Structure formats: C-alpha cells, structure tokens
Structure 1
Amino acid sequence: MSERDLPTAARVADPDARRLIVLTGMSGGGKTVALRALEDLEFYCVDNLPSALLPQLVEATGRDGSDRNRIAVGVDVRNRSEDFQHLPKVLAELAGKGVQVHLIFIDCSDTVLIKRYSETRRRHPLAQRGVSLADAIVEERRLLRPLMAIADKVIDSSDLNVHQLRRLIATGYAQATEGLTVMFQSFAFKRGLPLDSDFVFDARCLPNPHWKPELRPLSGKDGPVRAFLEAQTVVGEYLSDTQRWLEAWLPRFEQDDRSYVTVSVGCTGGRHRSVYLVEQLAAHFRASRESVLTFHRELA
C-alpha cells in the first residue's frame, strides 16, 4: 500500500472542520504506532475509549475552540463487545452533525501477528488461560469483522515496519497546508540508514557525549547533554549550516508539489548528537512551518 492509496479527503479536508479519526484493527497490527503518528500531527488522541463516550469527547474538545478540532481515538478488543455493535450508529450520528468521520482498520496476517507476539513476548488481550495465541487471533477477527466491513480505509501492515507505517499515516493525514510536512528523525548508523530518508546528515564528526560517563545513560533531550553540545563551537556551526541548507532547498520540494519530506540525522548510537540536532532543527522550523514532526528511532 502506498501514500496515494489513502483517501483524497484525508489529505485535502478543510483544516477548520471538526475531524474524528477512529483507529481499530488487529492487536499487534500497529494501531498504537498509528495513534502516535496522529498525536505528532497534533490530533487530540485517546486510546481504548468506549464508543458511547465518543459524542461527549467530541463535544468536550470543541469547547476549547479550533485548537482541538482534530481528534483520533483508538478502539480495540479491550472494549466490550457491545461497543463494536454500537460504534457504526455513533459514527453515523456524529457525521450527521457535521463531523468529518474516518474509520481506519489496521489489518495484519496471522503469521506476522504470531511472529510479532513471539518476538515481543507480549500477551494477546484475548489470550486467556488455556486459549492459544492462534485461537485468540481467530476470535479477534470474528469480533472485529463488522468494523472492518464499514472501514473507510483498511491498511495491511504485514509488510510495513513501524517507520513505514508511521510515515504512511503522517503523509495521509497531515493538516492541509500550503507547505510541506517535514519529518526530522534521528538514527544510529550502526543500525542502518532509514530507508524512507529524503536527506541524510551525518553527525559522527561532532564531539560525542557518549565518552562522558555521566552523560552516557542520557539522551540528546536531557539538559546536561544539551549543555555539553551547546558548549562546542563546532556543534553550533554544524547546526547553523544545516538550517541554512534546508531553508534553501525545502522550498524547492514545495514547488515540486511534494507533500512530505523526511530529514534524517545520524550519529553512532542515535541517542545523543542526532537526537539533539533533530530537536533543534524541529524547533527552528516550527517557527515558520505548521507541520513539523520528530521521531527518534533508537529512543522509540
């Protein structure tokens, strides 16, 4: 599945309209990743909300004005079974009141789900004593089948890693603006280059906080690490040069009708220098752009 498979309405919807995205699907399919991607897009996100409370949530968030006119809610098998039966009616009523409702179902093959649960050693929410993982997945499909049938979009995450799914959601549901949605992400070169990168910057030439024992367990988000890096003249020069380069070239992508650009910054371990630079770059460009996201691969 590619970015253009997402509904056009999701990409060009009126940014001033009330929008409600309901995320559901198979446990282990990536619903939490998708919800976090929407949270990065400044959706007001709530996980595992009973369907009967959806109208109250929409009404309550609307009292604050347009700052919370975009809501995303996660619904899964932790909810009571009657919630699945009532959800279509609730969504129809909200749509009748002018709310732009979009139901996303994140599917995944049984084989991949079993592999993911085996790797993470998490327990399936329906796996009771004496019930196998395979049987729990079968029962979950039965319970969720009515929601999958009415979903506006079904995303199969079987062949997607977390970064690809995150980008797919962010690309499709970024707020409609006249500019790009820019994702700044940090990574470790020792774990490989992010395949979704449009630009890659190498920060391994900068002084490394890793060699300071007191800084090693921290990240580039922490004050002592920031202070260490900001005391290095070369770090400030690197940051300024990178900002100027992106300021010169990001507009070229806008002129080419691009909707999404990923800027990756890497260092050896992906915890200190790259994280710091990503946070600084994001803060700088948020002053002039509406849709700026961050993702720290090695901190996720």
Structure 2
Amino acid sequence: MTLEVVLITGMSGSGKSVALHALEDAGYYCVDNLPPELLLPFVELEQHPRGRKVAIAMDVRSAASLPLVPEQLADLRKRGISVRSLFLDAMTETLVHRYSETRRRHPLSRSDDADAQHALVEAIELERELLGTLREHAHVIDTSIIRSSQLQGYIKALISAPVAQLTLVFESFAFKRGIPVDADYVFDVRMLPNPHYETGLRNLTGRDEPVAAYLQQHEDVRRMELHIRDFLDFWLQALARDHRSYVTVAIGCTGGQHRSVFLVEQLVRHFSPVWTTLKRHRELDGR
C-alpha cells in the first residue's frame, strides 16, 4: 500500500487545526508542528510496514528549517510516495480580528512592544515573508470568510481527488466581500445582466432553473462562458505538464449569488468529463 502524505502549512490563525481535524476524521494519522528536520525520518518510519495515510502540520515556529521542505517533498515524490501540500491563508485584517477575539499571541509577536495592534500586523507580514516559498509550492485555500464546517468540507473534497491528475477548482464569490486569495485565475462577470433586479429571481441563486433560463437568453452570458472555456481549454494541458496539482478559477459578481454561481455550474458541467473538477460557492456553501 502506497503511503499518502498531506502537508498542512499556512498562516497562524488560518485554520490549520480545523484542517488537521478534518483529515483525522478522514482516516489520516495526524501530527501537529512536526519539525522539518524530522519529516523524512518520520515518513520512512510510517512507510514500513504500515503504509497508512499521514497528515503533517508545520508552521512558522520552525521558520529556520522551513526552506528544507520543498526539496524534501520532491524527494518523497521521487520515491513514489503520494504527496499533497496545502497552504491555508487569510487576509491580514481577518487574522488580526481572529487574534483579537481569542486574545492569543502570535508566535512571532514581541511581548515588549507597547503597540500590540501594530506589533501583530508586523508579525503577520513577517510570517507571510517567511512562508512565501512554501505557499508557492502548495495549493492555497483562502479561509478569510468561510466557516469551520466549510473548510472541513473543502479539505475532504480536495483529498478525495486523484493525486496524479490536475484538479480544477471552480469558485464563485462576491466582489463586495473580497477576492479569494487562493485564486490562480479571476474572472469578473459583473458586467453581465443581473437577475438581482428581477423581482421573481432576486431570492433565488444561479443553481435554480429560472435564474439559469434568464441568463441563458442573454448572448453576453454565453459569450463570457465560451471565452473562459476557450482560455482554459488552451492552457490546461500546459499547466498539467508543469506538474500543477490544482488550478483554482474564481468567478466573481457583485453578490456571489446569481451570475458567478451559474457560470461555475456551467463550467463544471463542461470540464468534468475530462478533468477532475471540484466546485465551491463561497457565499452559498454552508447556508
């Protein structure tokens, strides 16, 4: 049995503990805050004889040795070990708010700084810098405005996708609540006809047939869908050859309820017969 390894890294306060609990529920043996120096010996220990599923969390407390990790993961893949790397991120203001709510100290905060708020923001930005390389080599998940239950669902969906194939993640969102920081490509569809201004459609979503029928009658909506499809059809093979595990395509409208949701549903229907495809509706999931 091939050993499966999931590495969870990311910003302090972004939900790594929630992600680790989701993996534990999915049958992974989980280890929190493993020093990078122990990664290879630990994987070797777990590989023989059990060959089970393992999830490992690392964070900025091991900052000095984190640069070792990308090369270590490449080494594990060369040995035929299944490796996924997930990076949890969130907007700085969200992280500041979470720390203020819990009154926890950031691991990089200095206790002698009189301006606690300024010190926290500085610590968060320093952490971003220290974790930059890990972020570049991982699939990023934006946890800024999602619930713990949503994050658990995202994690379980991601790990269920085949490791050896590129996975397309389509995500609808509302621009008024911010652009997802995990998006590889962002398409703005706010210029399209808006069902919100149709009384009978306002309280529905892009998953409902009356909204879909309304949008399908507009040529601009169809043209936008075809342009996004053509772009991805052209570049996905190149992305797969570049050994990308995940590509996240975010579609945004004003409220994240009608146009972006409809287009995500249409794109998933088009790409799912060829590519492993997941979908998220940031403003609707968890309702």
TM-score range, shorter chain: 0.5 to 0.7
What is residue 18 of structure 1 aligned with on the other side? 3
Which secondary structure state, in structure 2, belongs to the residue aligned with residue 78 of structure 1? helix
Which of residues 77, 99, 103 in structure 2 aligns to 1:121?
A: 103
Which secondary structure state, in structure 1, belongs to the residue aligned with residue 154 of structure 2? helix
After superposition, give the CA deviation of every residue in 1:124-183 in whole Å (9 maximum; x if it has no partner). Answer: 1111223411111011011001111111x100000111111011112222498xxxxxxx
Q: In the TM superposition, what is the alpha-carbon distance from 1:94 to its structure 2 partner?
A: 0.8
The reply to whether residue 88 of structure 1 matches residue 70 of structure 2 is yes
> Matched residues in 2 for 1:175 and 1:41: separation?
13
1:114, 1:133 within 8 Å by CA — same for their partners in 2? yes
What is residue 58 of structure 1 aligned with on the other side? 43
What is residue 97 of structure 1 aligned with on the other side? 79
Which secondary structure state, in structure 2, belongs to the residue aligned with residue 168 of structure 1? helix
Which of residues 118, 126, 134 in structure 1 aligns to 2:121?
A: 134
After superposition, give the CA deviation of every residue in 1:87-129 in whole Å (9 maximum; x if it has no partner). Answer: 1111111111001111111010001001111111111111122
Q: Which runs of 5+ in 2 are unaligned?
A: 114-118, 163-276, 279-287
- Say if 1:95 and 1:47 are closer, same or farther in 2 by CA, change over 3 A: same
What is residue 46 of structure 1 aligned with on the other side? 31
1:52, 1:90 within 8 Å by CA — same for their partners in 2? no
> Matched residues in 2 for 1:65 and 1:147: separation?
28
> Matched residues in 2 for 1:63 and 1:18: separation?
9
Q: Which amino acid aligns with 1:40?
A: D
What is residue 167 of structure 1 aligned with on the other side? 153
> Matched residues in 2 for 1:109 and 1:53: separation?
30
What is residue 35 of structure 1 aligned with on the other side? 20
Root-mean-square deviation (Å): 2.0
Map 1:75-224 → 2, pairs under 5 A: 75-79=58-62, 81-131=63-113, 132-151=119-138, 153-174=139-160
> Matched residues in 2 for 1:115 and 1:161: separation?
15
1:38, 1:169 within 8 Å by CA — same for their partners in 2? yes
> Matched residues in 2 for 1:111 and 1:137: separation?
10
1:41, 1:174 within 8 Å by CA — same for their partners in 2? no
Q: In the TM superposition, what is the alpha-carbon distance from 1:78 to its structure 2 partner?
A: 1.2
> Matched residues in 1 for 2:80 and 2:37: separation?
18
- Say if 1:28 and 1:141 are closer, same or farther in 2 by CA, change over 3 A: same
After superposition, give the CA deviation of every residue in 1:11-49 in whole Å (9 maximum; x if it has no partner). Answer: xxxxx4321111100000001100110011111111111
Which secondary structure state, in structure 2, belongs to the residue aligned with residue 53 of structure 1? helix
> Matched residues in 2 for 1:108 and 1:72: separation?
21
What is residue 57 of structure 2 aligned with on the other side? 74
> Matched residues in 1 for 2:31 and 2:161: separation?
19
> Matched residues in 2 for 1:107 and 1:175: separation?
21
> Matched residues in 2 for 1:163 and 1:125: separation?
25
> Matched residues in 2 for 1:174 and 1:122: separation?
33
In the superposition, the TM-score normalised over structure 2's length comes to 0.53
- Say if 1:18 and 1:175 are closer, same or farther in 2 by CA, change over 3 A: farther
Aligned length: 159
Q: Which amino acid aligns with 1:140?
A: E
Which secondary structure state, in structure 1, belongs to the residue aligned with residue 60 of structure 2? coil
> Matched residues in 1 for 2:75 and 2:101: separation?
41
Q: Percent identity?
A: 42
In the superposition, the TM-score normalised over structure 1's length comes to 0.50
Which secondary structure state, in structure 2, belongs to the residue aligned with residue 45 of structure 1? strand
Which secondary structure state, in structure 2, belongs to the residue aligned with residue 23 of structure 1? strand
Q: Which runs of 5+ in 1 are unaligned?
A: 1-15, 177-258, 261-300
Structure 1 runs of 4+ with >6 Å offset: none
